[in-house]
Structure 1
Amino acid sequence: MTDYVVTKTQREALQRLIKIAQGDTGQARRVADFLLAWWNAGECGGFDITTAWGVDTSIAADMVEVFGLAVARNAYPDEYGFGPDFERIVAAWRPALLKGGA
C-alpha cells in the first residue's frame, strides 16, 4: 500500500456507486458486478468491461474514478470504511456467498 490520499471526487464517486448498487435495476446489477469484482473477484466474479456499455455516462465516469482509486491505492474498499456497504451488496447480489446462503 502507498501513502495515496483518497480524493473527495473518488470518495463521492464510490459513495454514489454503492448507493446505485443497492438498487434493483439493470444498472444497479452492473455497478454491483463492478464493485464486487474489486471486493473479491475470486468469489464474486470478475467484471467484463463491456458491461459498462449498459450504464449511463455519469455512472461510467464514477466507475472510471473508482477504478483509478483501486489501482493507485492498491487497497480493498474496506480500508476506506466501506466494508459494511459491500457486505450489503453481497447480500443483495450474491446471497449464496453468505454463510447459510442457498
Structure 2
Amino acid sequence: METLIDEMLRYEATLPTIREHGEAALRRLLEVAQGDTGQSRVVGLFLLGLYNGEEHPLDLTELRLLDHRLVEDCLTVLRMDSCPEKEVHEYFENGTAIWQALRSRWLQEPAKVTTGEGLEITTTSRGFPLIAFTDHYGEACSLQVSSLADTTCCWLGVTAPNLKALSDGGLRDVPLPAGALVASRMHLTQNQVRALLPHLQAFTETGEFAFIAHDG
C-alpha cells in the first residue's frame, strides 16, 4: 500500500517533466497574449492572474472562450505553478516589463463614445460590447453582448432595478438582503432579436407594432 511519503516521492520525481512542459506551455501562452484576438485577451488576463492574483482576479468562466489547446496549456501552466520553482514572469528576460505591458494592454480603461441620442457605447471590463442609456423614467438600462459560450446572446433591460412596494399609502424602496440578485435583463438569442426587429422598426415609424390586426 502506497504511503503518503511514497506518493510525495513519486510526485517529486515527476516535477522536472511538469516544469519542462509548463515552461513550454507558458511561452506559447505569452505569444498568444501578445496577439490581438479575443483569445489573446483571455490568455493575457490568465497570465496577469498568475502574476498577481490579488490585483488581477480572473473570472474562470472566461476560459470557456478558449479553444481546447489553450485550455490545456493553461492547465499545464497551473500544474507547474502549483509547486513553483520561480514566478511566471521570471522565466523571461525583462519579464516584469513584459507583464506590465500585458497589464497596460488588457486592463486599460475602456473607451467610451456618447451619441446624440444619449447612448454611451463602450465595453465591459471583460471586453464585451455594451451600450448604456436611460429610459423615459430615468432608469439606467443597457444592451450588452453576452459572454455565453455555446449560444450567441445579448442582454437587454434595466441594469440595476430599484424595487419598490406599496406601503403606508405610497411607494417605498424595498431593501434587498445581502447577496440577493434580481434578474432584470432579458437574455435574448439572435433568433429572438430577429423576430422582434420588425415590431421595433414599425414602432419607430408608426408608434405601433407590425402585423397587428385592427377590428373593423
Shared fold by TM > 0.5? yes
Counterpart of 1:24 in 2: which secondary structure? Answer: coil
| Match runs of 1:27-66 below 5 Å | 27-43=39-55, 45-66=56-77
- Could you report, residue by residue, the CA deviation over 1:24-56 in whole angstroms, capped at 9, with x for unpaired residues? 21111110111101111222x211221111100
2:103 is matched with 90
5+ residue gaps, structure 1: 97-102
TM-score for both structures, normalised by structure 2: 0.39
Indicate the structure with greater strand content.
Answer: 2
C-alpha contact 1:18 1:85 (8 A) present in aligned 2: no
Output the amino acid matched with 1:66: V
| Residue identity (%) | 28
1:13 is matched with 25
Structure having the higher Rg: 2
Report the Cα offset of residue 79 of structure 1: 3.0
C-alpha contact 1:21 1:89 (8 A) present in aligned 2: yes
Deviating beyond 4 angstroms after TM superposition, the runs of 4 or more aligned structure 1 residues are 3-6
Counterpart of 2:57 in 1: which secondary structure? Answer: coil
5+ residue gaps, structure 2: 1-11, 110-216
TM-score for both structures, normalised by structure 1: 0.76
Give the Cα separation in 2 of the matches to 1:50 and 1:93.
17
Higher mean Cα deviation, 73-82 or 84-93? 73-82
Aligned-residue Cα RMSD (Å) equals 2.3
